[in-house]
Structures are given as structure tokens and as C-alpha cells.
Structure 1
């Protein structure tokens, strides 16, 4: 694969990841998580995301009513924990169902293609 092809592949891979990180973040926030722990949880699951990408996403999801954020000041270091709202849980379920449907469709396409 030449340099141009590698760059094209990298662009498409980034687009795929960008589309899945919302669902992955919602899934991970079914239990309360603070930002750094969420980064670690996502990384452990195979989702590499930078903090400067995750934090704006979390704020956007909170603004959309999908996450709620609460500060925990009981520990020496205050942390902002993110948890799914009821709407966020419904949205995560719907997105998961859509992801499963897309996976089935792609699997069908791969099976039907003789290449």
C-alpha cells in the first residue's frame, strides 16, 4: 500500500471510529465514570481516544440530555462523574440495535461477495 492509499485508509478508519465512539461512551457510562477512568475503560475495550476528543464529546452528550454529570468531592481530588440519563439509556439501546443491524448487513455482504 503506497502513502496515498495509507492516508485514505487512515481517513476512513478515523470516520468509522468517530461514528462508534458515541455508542462506546454511552455503553461505558452505564455505570458512573469520571473522565480519566472513561478513557481507560474505552482503551481497555480497544477504543483509542484522546482526552481532547473525549471531554468535548462528554459535554455535548450532557447538553443533549444523554449524560448527567455530578461532581464527587468526597475524595481528595474532586472528580466529575458521568452517568447515562434515562434518555441516554434509551438512545444507547437504539444505537446498539442499529449497530447490530449494520453488523448483520455487512456480514451478509461479505458472505455474498465471492472475492
Structure 2
């Protein structure tokens, strides 16, 4: 049962990570700062998950990136594009709708009867 629960939890997280990442890119962030910001909010994300996600979002034209080479260590910064801002608004609306619907369903569920 533990493996099954882990599998479902992973599926739930995968669907929400895109929304979480987009929500933090209204101002430019580099990868490590984004990981820290998300973790401070309770959203754990591995760098091995984040960077492929950022590349995919950039390919989908939801974020843009630029290199800052003014420091001794160059950093790639990501920020929402105009398209990304619109998608974020629509995803947030969909999240609000879905979470409200699920909360209604779950409040009616009788968990102790399901055991």
C-alpha cells in the first residue's frame, strides 16, 4: 500500500509543480533561488526535476531566460513571458475551481468507512 500511495502522491505533485514554478517567476529567478523560494513555501523540488521543467516551459514559450555574467559565476535567470502570465492566470483559475470542487467532495467522504 505504501508504494501505491507514493505513486499517487508523485502524480499529484507532478501536476502541481508547473503551477508552483510559474507562480514564482513574476520576477527573474535563477534555478537555485527558485528551489529555495519553493522550499520556503513547503514545495520540495529537486534540481533534477526543476531544470527539465524550466527547459520545457521555455520551449513552450511560457518563460524566457537570460544569462547574467556580471558575477564571477554566470547564472541563467528565468521569468514569465506574456504568454506565461496569461497561462498562469488561467491555471490559477482552474486550480481554484478544481480544488473547491474536490474539497466539497472530500468533506462528504466518510474516510473511516472506507477502511
The Cα offsets for residues 63-94 of structure 1, whole Å up to 9 and x where unpaired, read as 00000000011112110000000000000111
Matched residues in 1 for 2:98 and 2:17: separation?
16
Say which of 57, 63, 66 aligns to 1:61. Answer: 57
Closer/same/farther in 2, CA of residues 11 and 72 from structure 1, 3 Å limit: same
Q: TM-score, normalised by structure 2?
A: 0.92
Partner residue in 2 for 1:36: 32
Matched residues in 2 for 1:64 and 1:111: separation?
37
Which structure 2 residue ranges, 5 or more long, are not aligned?
none
Say which of 100, 103, 108 aligns to 1:112. Answer: 108
Partner residue in 2 for 1:91: 87
**How far 1:25 sits from its partner (Å)?**
0.4
**How far 1:40 sits from its partner (Å)?**
0.8
Which structure 1 residue ranges, 5 or more long, are not aligned?
none
Partner residue in 2 for 1:10: 6
Matched residues in 1 for 2:35 and 2:99: separation?
25
Say which of 38, 42, 45 aligns to 1:46. Answer: 42
Report how many residues are paired.
Answer: 111
Partner residue in 1 for 2:74: 78
Partner residue in 2 for 1:27: 23
The Cα offsets for residues 52-72 of structure 1, whole Å up to 9 and x where unpaired, read as 111011000000000000001
Matched residues in 2 for 1:50 and 1:94: separation?
26
